[in-house]
């Protein structure tokens, strides 16, 4: 498919051929769901921890005598039913991450890129670089009318100066073409794909 290319000031500057195998596939909502769920699980810290009755630093004394009170028999004050006692089946530190099949992840990314084209959120922009100044990225974002919206910039290679220029702008995320986030592709109101990144995506996610 043919897609328009825009300059950094928002004016049309030419066209580029995008692969139908990447930007024109049948959207798979199931793979998108699994990709986003996988990213969310992999980001979980999993440090929640509670103490059992064996770990609570509390008195070992018997709260009252065994017989004659009419109460249930109690061994110590660490009992889970007592205030300050241990926790029954509470959370322990664990790893929530898991791996997603490569084919599912590839299909999810191609589906999200296709969705961006269909919804006219994906825009191909001429390659640019910056001197690391925030105002330079802000000028580009304003040219496309997304200064107050969630914006994703996809680079053809990891440009540290673009990352530096964009890191202090709220709702602006910068990613390389081979390290895309399904969440950002789905929720980004505008996806600015550098021309070099578009060419790389054609081959990176193309049929192998």
What tens digit of pLDDT does each residue of 115-128 get?
999 998 999 999 88
Q: Is residue 94 part of a domain?
A: no
In this predicted model, what pLDDT tens digit does every residue of 76-99 receive, in sequence order? 888 898 888 899 999 999 999 999
Per-residue pLDDT at 184: 93
Q: Which two tokens stand for residue 99?
A: 């791996």
Given the structure tokens 């810290």, which residue do they identify?
A: 45
Is the pLDDT reported for residue 174 higher than 80? Answer: yes
CATH of the domain at 134: 3.40.1370.10
Contact between residue 206 and residue 22 where contact means Cβ atoms under 8 Å apart: yes
Q: Look at residues 6, 4, 1, 3 and name the one whose alpha carbon lies nearest to residue 125.
A: 6
Is the pLDDT reported for residue 47 higher than 90? Answer: yes
Q: Is residue 63 part of a domain?
A: no
Q: Is residue 67 part of a domain?
A: no
User: Rounded to 5 degrees, what angle do the CA atoms 11, 112, 135 make?
Assistant: 40
Distance CA 154, CA 199 (A): 12
Q: Is residue 60 part of a domain?
A: no
Q: Is residue 190 part of a domain?
A: yes
Distance CA 153, CA 190 (A): 9
Whole domain around residue 158: which residue ranges?
Answer: 2-31+101-204
Distance CA 157, CA 200 (A): 9
Is the pLDDT reported for residue 207 higher than 80? Answer: no
Q: Is residue 61 part of a domain?
A: no
Q: Is residue 38 part of a domain?
A: no
Distance CA 110, CA 41 (A): 21
The count of domains in the chain is 1
Q: Is residue 122 part of a domain?
A: yes
Distance CA 83, CA 63 (A): 12
Per-residue pLDDT at 58: 85
């Amino acid at each position: 498919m043919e897609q328009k290319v825009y300059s950094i000031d928002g004016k049309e500057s030419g066209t580029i051929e995008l692969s139908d195998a990447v930007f024109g596939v049948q959207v798979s909502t199931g793979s998108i769901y699994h990709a986003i769920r996988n990213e969310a699980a992999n980001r979980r810290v999993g440090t929640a921890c509670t103490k059992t009755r064996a770990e609570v630093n509390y008195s070992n004394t018997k709260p009252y005598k065994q017989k004659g009170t009419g109460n249930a028999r109690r061994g110590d004050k660490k009992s889970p039913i007592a205030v300050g006692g241990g926790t029954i089946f509470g959370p322990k530190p664990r790893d929530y991450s898991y791996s997603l099949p490569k084919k599912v992840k590839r299909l999810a990314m191609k589906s999200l890129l296709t969705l961006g084209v269909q919804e006219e959120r994906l825009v191909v922009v001429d390659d640019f670089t910056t001197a690391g100044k925030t105002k330079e990225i802000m000028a580009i974002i304003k040219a496309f009318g997304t200064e107050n919206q969630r914006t994703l910039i996809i680079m053809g290679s990891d440009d540290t100066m673009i990352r530096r220029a964009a890191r202090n702008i709220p709702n602006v995320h910068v990613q390389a073409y081979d390290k895309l986030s399904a969440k950002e592709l789905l929720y980004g109101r505008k996806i600015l794909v550098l021309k070099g990144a578009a060419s790389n995506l054609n081959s990176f996610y193309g049929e192998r």
